[in-house]
């Protein structure tokens, strides 16, 4: 899961601030333009996966996980949304950049909203190395952004937006807090804010742990209600989370 956590940290940031996620490093994506490829569309009950035929293996894996991922997100985030997600696997670096911009090309997955509506863009180079479990978590995270975007304020803090998406993504997988968030320490004093700097990976894991802490107090539905109520505000008071209680929860859970 350490490999997954690294990818997840690069995968998602500022989704609602920019209608995209934040990338942190450029990546060289090999083009398939010199091979005889054509656009291929796989159809699932819950959406489509559009890719190059040269990326058929990855597209088939994504398509095979799409229905269950949408259903799993819908079971947790029980709100009124389309429960349909269209996924795009760009065939080249130029196509990837045209969809997400040059600053975002390093991520494994990105939830975007453009003239074609909401979509999840999958970086074929990054995603091809993921296990099925890791790919499932990636899809569930991005699908959560799609499901909740219209109910979330652009000013919602990243600890809330990304922590909730991670909480949904890992929900029901049977992983302990330590397994899902191996960098966590209990000596927290404030809500995480360094989602773009050197402390990025830890910030994501702290954000996720806040949601796990809230689940221990509020229950599963309580976390969803907390997210929807808080993320819809034009401004969120940092005091909505009891940092002392969160710290004590971490001490009890991970030592």
Rounded to whole angstroms, the Cα distance separating 95 from 132 reads: 25
pLDDT, one tens digit per residue, over 147-176 is: 999 999 999 999 999 999 999 999 999 999
In three-state form (DSSP H/G/I as H, E/B as E, the rest C), the secondary structure along 147-212 is HHHHHCCCCCCHHHHHHHHHHHHHCCCCCCHHHHCCCCCCCCCCCCCCCCCCCHHHHHHHHHHHHH
Rounded to whole angstroms, the Cα distance separating 195 from 205 reads: 10
pLDDT band at 9 (very low <50, low <70, confident <90, very high): very low
CB 194 within 8 A of CB 208: no
Rounded to whole angstroms, the Cα distance separating 51 from 54 reads: 8
User: Each residue of 56-88: b (16+ CB within 10 Å) or e?
Assistant: eebbebbbbbbeebbebbbebbeeebebebbbb
Burial class (CB in 10 A: 0-12, 13-18, 19+), 218: middle
Instruction: Look at residue 4 in the predicted model and tell me its pLDDT.
Output: 58
Instruction: Look at residue 206 in the predicted model and tell me its pLDDT.
Output: 98
For residue 111, list its beta bridge partners. Answer: 120
Average pLDDT over the chain, rounded to an integer: 87
- pTM given for the model: 0.86
């Amino acid at each position: 899961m350490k490999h997954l956590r690294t990818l997840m940290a690069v995968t998602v940031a500022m989704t609602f601030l920019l209608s995209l996620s934040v990338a942190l490093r450029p990546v060289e994506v090999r083009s398939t333009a010199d091979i005889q490829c054509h656009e291929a569309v796989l159809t699932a009950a819950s959406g489509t996966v559009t890719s190059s035929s040269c990326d058929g293996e990855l597209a088939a894996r994504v398509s095979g996980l799409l229905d269950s991922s949408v259903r799993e997100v819908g079971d947790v985030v029980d709100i009124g949304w389309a429960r349909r997600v269209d996924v795009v696997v760009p065939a080249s670096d130029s196509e990837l950049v045209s969809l997400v911009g040059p600053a975002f090309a390093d991520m494994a997955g990105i939830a975007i909203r453009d003239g074609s509506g909401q979509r999840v863009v999958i970086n074929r180079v990054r995603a091809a190395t993921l296990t099925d479990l890791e790919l499932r978590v990636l899809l569930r995270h991005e699908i959560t952004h799609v499901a909740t975007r219209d109910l979330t304020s652009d000013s919602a803090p990243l600890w809330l937006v990304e922590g909730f998406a991670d909480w949904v993504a890992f929900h029901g997988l049977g992983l302990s807090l330590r397994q899902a968030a191996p960098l966590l320490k209990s000596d927290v004093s404030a809500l995480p804010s360094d989602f773009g700097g050197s402390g990025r990976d830890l910030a994501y894991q702290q954000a996720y742990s806040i949601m796990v802490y809230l689940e221990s107090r509020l229950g599963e539905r309580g976390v969803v209600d907390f997210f929807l109520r808080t993320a819809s505000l034009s401004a969120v008071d940092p005091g909505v989370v009891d940092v002392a209680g969160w710290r004590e929860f971490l001490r009890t859970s991970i030592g």
